[in-house]
Amino acid sequence: MLQAPDPPLVLASASAARLGLLRAAGLVVTAEAAAVDEDALKHSARAEGLPPEEAALMLAEAKATRISRRRPEALVIAADQILVCEGRWFDKPADAAAVADHLRALSGRAHRLVNGVVVHRWGRRIWQHGDAPRLVMRPLSEAFIAAYVAAEGEAARHSVGGYRLEGPGIQLFERIEGEHSAILGLPMLPLLAFLRQHGVLLA
């Protein structure tokens, strides 16, 4: 076994991508969605003038706190990601038209995916990490955007940028800088290093 039987690992998220990353790495983990009003927290962070790095950690902290109250004995992993392009924060697109609007706004430009990750146990934060992979989207034609939105359908709405890098979204880019898993929403290398240091994984 690569993983100790105790403490249990809980992902404070309903994100299939994050859960998939953890399980693909061989971790035994359960997922519990945290009832947090992310839109309200983001609005508050913007109103207070917080940088996206602090906002992402604040959102992750809120999720971890909520689940850790129910599962204090577990190592609760929570993460959030904010897409930032030329000072604008992007939210998940509401429909196909919004996906197309996102792609037009990002076309030919660089953007960052700002990640905040925290781990809680016994009601307190014991680890946090932040990073921000940088992606450069190639200029997109209207014909490509229309074809892409039709091909991806509902799946495109589950990503803040309107793309899945692990799917056809890879066709959108000309350059990518950063850890692949961090782009998908969970920086695995620093998280795995923490779990080894904490004795959860074999060193």
Q: State the Cα angle at 47 between 92 and 65, rounded to 5°.
A: 65
Q: Which two tokens stand for residue 85?
A: 């392009």
Q: Which two tokens stand for residue 138?
A: 């190639």
Judge whether 80 counts as a catalytic residue.
yes
Q: Is the dihedral of CA 152, 82, 130, 85 positive or negative?
A: positive
- Least Cα distance to 118 among 53, 49, 26, 40 occurs for 53
Q: Among the options 6, 37, 80, 91, which is catalytic?
A: 80
Q: What residues contact 150, with CB distance under 8 A and at least 6 apart?
A: none
Indicate which residues carry an active-site annotation: 80
